């Protein structure tokens, strides 16, 4: 786990895209809030996905606080840069994955959860460990000696949970034929579908999209995980924090939520991420002198 010093030595020149999008609901703003996120894909796709929700949150927060609120969007590249900007207070709030939240919270204990994403009335969703549709493999124990594709090295499901589940099935890194970090979940699914790896870990939503698109993969196990938290930096004004949190919990615009690709917000707390913390804490036990290779 990186500590706070590691964040301060990271090279922002390679990470920051420096997109700043004014999303004021009312023209001149008395309160200006910065929302930060990292772009796993094209930054323009993130702008398209997030702009409607930030505009609506700006409008709702303005009503709640009874004064104009402007939300600016800052996009960076990569998990590490996304964590750094909230830890360093460069942005006021952000959306992160569970593992990134734990990492950020450890580095800056004053970080608070505003709300968590809702999916079908719950604040949990599933990950998948998948194999090729024609594969004879049916259980995690069958993966001994096989080649495995993980997601990003900081991914909750794509790395930490997958490695924990393998370890609990008696398989550690040295027991695999080989393993790689492939980055995005769709890359993992396609690598399994083309038999570049025997098995891989990815989000269930991505899994279903790939199956629908004809990628020949099937699930052998599901991994339950907490949804993404939206978090506020340490030291954010409490009145703004409470206003923004209420705006999130009140958000009900269907078009906005469709763009976000989830169903709304629910109250959340650090306790929702106990399993994530355990997966991260136990992770070092998964490893051995086996060589780790990265996707080319």
User: Is residue 6 very low, low, confident or very high in pLDDT (cuts 50, 70, 90)?
Assistant: very low
75 in Cβ contact with 29 (< 8 Å): no
Token code pair at residue 274? 């106990």
What is the value of pTM for the model shown?
0.79
pLDDT at 18 over 50: no
pLDDT at 142 over 60: yes
Quick: pLDDT tens for 250-265.
999 999 998 888 999 9
Mean pLDDT of 152-173: 95
Positive or negative CA dihedral for 263, 265, 267, 270?
positive
- Residue 197 to residue 183: CA distance in whole angstroms: 14
| CATH, range 4-122+227-262 | 3.40.190.10
pLDDT at 293 over 60: no
pLDDT at 275 over 80: yes
H helix intervals, 94-237:
98-107, 162-168, 185-193, 204-212
pLDDT at 280 over 50: yes
Q: Which of 197, 196, 189 is nearest to 215 (CA)?
A: 189
- Residue 220 to residue 30: CA distance in whole angstroms: 53
- Residue 177 to residue 197: CA distance in whole angstroms: 10
Give the start-to-end residue ranges of the domains of the chain.
Answer: 4-122+227-262, 125-226+279-294
SS3 267: coil
Q: Is 89 left (phi over 0), alpha (psi -120 to 50) or beta?
A: left
- Residue 17 to residue 44: CA distance in whole angstroms: 11
Neighbours of 183 (CB within 10 A): 18
Cα–Cα distance list, 184 to 34, 90, 259, 277, 290 (Å): 26, 26, 20, 22, 23
| CATH, range 125-226+279-294 | 3.40.190.10
Quick: pLDDT tens for 166-185.
999 999 999 999 999 999 89
DSSP 88: T
Report pLDDT for 295.
53
- Residue 99 to residue 149: CA distance in whole angstroms: 18
User: Is residue 1 very low, low, confident or very high in pLDDT (cuts 50, 70, 90)?
Assistant: very low
SS3 183: coil
Quick: pLDDT tens for 59-76.
999 999 999 999 999 998
175 in Cβ contact with 145 (< 8 Å): yes
Report pLDDT for 45.
76
Mean pLDDT of 187-200: 98
């Amino acid at each position: 786990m990186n500590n706070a010093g590691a964040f301060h030595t990271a090279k922002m020149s390679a990470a920051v895209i420096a997109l700043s999008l004014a999303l004021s609901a009312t023209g001149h703003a008395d309160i200006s809030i910065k929302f930060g996120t990292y772009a796993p894909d094209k930054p323009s796709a993130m702008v398209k996905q997030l702009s409607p929700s930030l505009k609506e949150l700006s409008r709702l927060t303005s009503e709640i606080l009874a004064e104009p609120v402007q939300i600016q969007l800052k996009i960076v590249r990569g998990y590490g840069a996304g964590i750094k900007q909230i830890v360093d207070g460069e942005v006021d709030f952000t959306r992160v994955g569970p593992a990134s939240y734990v990492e950020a919270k450890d580095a800056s204990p004053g970080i608070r959860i505003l709300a968590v994403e809702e999916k079908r009335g719950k604040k949990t969703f599933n990950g998948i460990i998948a194999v090729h549709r024609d594969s004879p493999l049916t259980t995690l124990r069958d993966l001994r000696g096989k080649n495995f594709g993980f997601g990003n090295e900081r991914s909750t499901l794509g790395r930490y949970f997958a490695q924990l589940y393998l370890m609990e099935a008696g398989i550690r890194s040295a027991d695999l034929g080989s393993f790689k970090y492939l980055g995005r979940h769709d890359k993992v699914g396609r690598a399994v579908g083309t038999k570049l790896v025997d098995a891989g870990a990815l989000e269930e939503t991505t899994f279903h999209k790939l199956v629908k698109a004809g990628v020949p993969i099937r699930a052998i196990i599901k991994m339950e995980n907490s949804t993404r938290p939206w978090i506020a930096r340490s030291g954010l004004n409490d009145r703004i924090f409470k206003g923004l949190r209420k705006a999130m919990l009140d958000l009900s615009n269907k078009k906005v939520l469709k763009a976000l690709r989830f169903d709304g917000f629910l109250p959340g707390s650090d306790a929702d991420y106990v399993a994530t913390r355990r997966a991260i804490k136990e992770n070092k036990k998964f490893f051995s002198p086996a060589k780790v290779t990265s996707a080319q």
